């Protein structure tokens, strides 16, 4: 029945919160009824672990089990509401560096949508740990907040390679790299540049490029034209939910979080507390996540067997209330029993996609090192909180720099030059970026000069943040402000 070894494979099982235990139990019983040689190790995470005072929401036993087994099926976990409570879901993804979130999006039989019949069948591969979701935020002034968008070359390499490997393992022809590289040339542009380089290692897969706004448009206009999409964390978060909506919504959307040390399979939906414990939850998303898990474990025939039974049940019924579509609704347990009864059968004309083992990219662990000679500091941006007008602030800071080898080059407000005055009616807030350059270009902007600039400014203004402006290998490694020359 399996193409892998027939000795049982141990898998960590996290029942989760809300409807989690019901949908996880459904998935477990179908996988067992299909004959999968899996030994489950049940561990706790979520609400009750938070309640015991564990601030991560993930028990030590869960971490040990995940480390040991490397594969998990996970129910949804409730996120504590209020300040300080971090999501246990995100903690798990970060602890184990599951850098890739993959979500297949496919039209399912029996689920009628405005897109039914179009043959939608693609995968969204989303970077899962970097970008704006690294969670590095600071109040800069009382009224201006900042969130750092961190994108690393290594992160881009891992996610690009994973996308091509997913394409290879599923016999797909193209991978579309989706970015906002036209605006964020350094961060979003990094994914595009790295993807371009990585693509040359996969000559049989067509690399494509699309801006994220156009991608949202094309996903609605021509969803059948996509094969694999790869994108940064926040773009992927939004696009993958949009994509789920095309084929019937979050209740039927499966997903996987993939890393070097852990592959964790879970439904896209949350704990749905309103229907928890009422035999109303739809276990389809969790079941299809278990199908992804079986494929990851190279139990391809078993995966096809479970998938076929789920699809046949969706096609013929009975179905749970959320997707009943005119049929009489059944409960979670009856739906699960129907699927078990359908094991060994498939919808007419259904042909499973041929899958090959997913080869995980090998990208060196540990920090990338940048030799000091590659980076040359040519200036600094000092961010200042001030109630002055651009003209008065510019005059004040220019005066403070008298006699220094450093000059005030410009001041911008939310990215637009406001000093020297442009004549444009730019609306300003109390968060000013003062850009400093050397009076003699070509000289070195030493740390002593940086400290001297800060000392001069701090005497008169409140600064809250500093960025060094560096050239990297002789190329400008920072963005110009709107209107800056």
Catalytic annotation, residues = 133, 180, 213, 237, 241
Rule CB under 6 A: say whether 272 interacts with ligand NAP: yes
Rule CB under 6 A: say whether 333 interacts with ligand NAP: no
What tokens does 181 get?
């590289």
Which residue of the chain is nearest ligand NAP when measured via CB? 270
| Least separation in angstroms between CB 362 and ligand NAP | 28
- Going by C-alpha positions, the residue among 316, 265, 283, 307 that lies closest to residue 106 is 307
Binding window for ligand NAP (CB under 6 A); candidates: 55-63, 70-78, 153-161, 403-411: 70-78
**Which of 72, 194, 262, 281 contacts ligand NAP by CB under 6 A?**
281
For the residues of 215-262, what is the DSSP string, one character each? HHHHHHH-GGG-SEEEE-HHHHHHHHHHHHHHHT-GGG-EEEEE-SS-
Distance, CA of 386 to CA of 381 (rounded, Å): 15
Rule CB under 6 A: say whether 271 interacts with ligand NAP: yes
Binding window for ligand NAP (CB under 6 A); candidates: 132-140, 142-150, 196-204, 268-276: 268-276
Rule CB under 6 A: say whether 79 interacts with ligand NAP: yes
Give start and end residues of each alpha helix (H) in 106-201. 153-169, 187-199
297 phi and psi, to 5 degrees? -80, 5
Query: Is there a cis peptide before residue 420, judged by omega within 30 degrees of 0?
Result: yes
**Which of 70, 100, 251, 347 contacts ligand NAP by CB under 6 A?**
251
Rule CB under 6 A: say whether 270 interacts with ligand NAP: yes
Write the Ramachandran bin of 84: left for phi over 0, alpha for psi from -120 to 50, otherwise beta.
left
Binding window for ligand NAP (CB under 6 A); candidates: 49-57, 65-73, 271-279, 412-420: 271-279
Q: How far is CA 258 from CA 159, 262, 290, 361, 421, in A?
A: 10, 6, 14, 11, 50
Cβ neighbourhood burial of 437 (10 Å; 0-12, 13-18, 19+): middle
Nearer to ligand NAP among residue 285 and residue 302 (C-beta): 285
Nearer to ligand NAP among residue 58 and residue 449 (C-beta): 58
Write the Ramachandran bin of 290: left for phi over 0, alpha for psi from -120 to 50, otherwise beta.
alpha
**Which of 77, 159, 194, 228 contacts ligand NAP by CB under 6 A?**
77
**Which of 107, 227, 307, 322 contacts ligand NAP by CB under 6 A?**
322
Query: Which residues of the shown chain bind ligand NAP in the complex (CB under 6 A)?
Result: 19, 23, 76-79, 89, 250-251, 266, 269-272, 274-275, 281-282, 285, 322
């Amino acid at each position: 029945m399996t193409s892998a070894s027939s000795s049982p494979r141990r898998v960590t099982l996290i029942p989760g919160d809300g409807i989690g235990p019901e949908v996880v139990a459904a998935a477990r019983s179908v996988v067992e009824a299909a004959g999968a040689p899996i030994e489950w190790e049940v561990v706790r995470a979520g609400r009750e672990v938070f309640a015991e005072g564990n601030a991560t929401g993930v028990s030590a036993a869960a971490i040990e089990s995940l480390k040991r087994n490397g594969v998990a099926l996970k129910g949804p976990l409730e996120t504590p509401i209020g300040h300080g409570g971090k999501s246990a879901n995100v903690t798990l993804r970060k602890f184990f560096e599951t850098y890739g979130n993959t979500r297949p999006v496919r039209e399912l039989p029996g689920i009628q949508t405005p897109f039914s019949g179009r043959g939608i069948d693609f995968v969204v591969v989303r970077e899962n740990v970097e970008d704006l979701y690294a969670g590095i935020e600071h109040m800069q002034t009382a009224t201006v907040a900042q969130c750092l968008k961190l994108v690393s070359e290594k992160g881009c390499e891992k996610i690009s390679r994973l996308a091509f490997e997913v394409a290879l393992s599923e016999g797909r022809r193209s991978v579309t790299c989706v970015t906002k590289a036209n605006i964020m040339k350094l961060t979003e542009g990094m994914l595009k540049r790295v993807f371009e380089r990585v693509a040359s290692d996969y000559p049989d897969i067509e690399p494509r490029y699309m801006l994220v706004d156009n991608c949202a448009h094309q996903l609605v206009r021509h969803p059948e034209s996509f094969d694999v999409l790869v994108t940064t964390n926040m773009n992927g978060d939004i696009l993958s939910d949009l994509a789920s909506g095309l084929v019937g919504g979050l209740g039927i959307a499966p997903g996987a979080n993939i890393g070097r040390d852990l592959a964790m399979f879970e439904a896209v939906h949350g704990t749905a507390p309103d229907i928890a414990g009422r035999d109303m939850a739809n276990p389809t998303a969790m079941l299809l996540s278990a199908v992804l898990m079986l494929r990851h474990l190279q139990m391809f025939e078993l995966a096809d067997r479970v998938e076929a039974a789920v699809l046949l049940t969706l096609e013929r019924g009975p179905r749970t209330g959320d997707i009943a579509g005119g049929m009489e609704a059944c409960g979670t347990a009856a739906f699960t029993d129907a699927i078990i009864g359908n094991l060994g059968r498939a919808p007419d004309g259904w042909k499973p996609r041929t899958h090959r083992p997913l080869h995980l990219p090998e990208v060196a662990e540990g920090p990338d090192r940048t030799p000091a000679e590659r980076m040359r500091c040519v200036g600094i941006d000092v961010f200042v909180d001030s109630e002055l007008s651009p003209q008065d602030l510019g005059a004040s800071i220019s005066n403070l720099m008298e006699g220094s080898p450093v000059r005030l080059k410009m001041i911008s407000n939310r990215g637009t030059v406001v000093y020297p005055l442009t004549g444009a009616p730019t609306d300003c807030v109390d968060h000013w970026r003062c850009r400093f350059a050397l009076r003699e270009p070509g000289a070195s902007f030493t740390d002593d000069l940086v400290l001297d600039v800060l000392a001069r400014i701090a005497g008169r203004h409140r600064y809250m943040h500093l960025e060094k402006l560096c050239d990297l290998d002789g190329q400008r490694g920072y963005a110009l402000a709107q209107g800056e020359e």
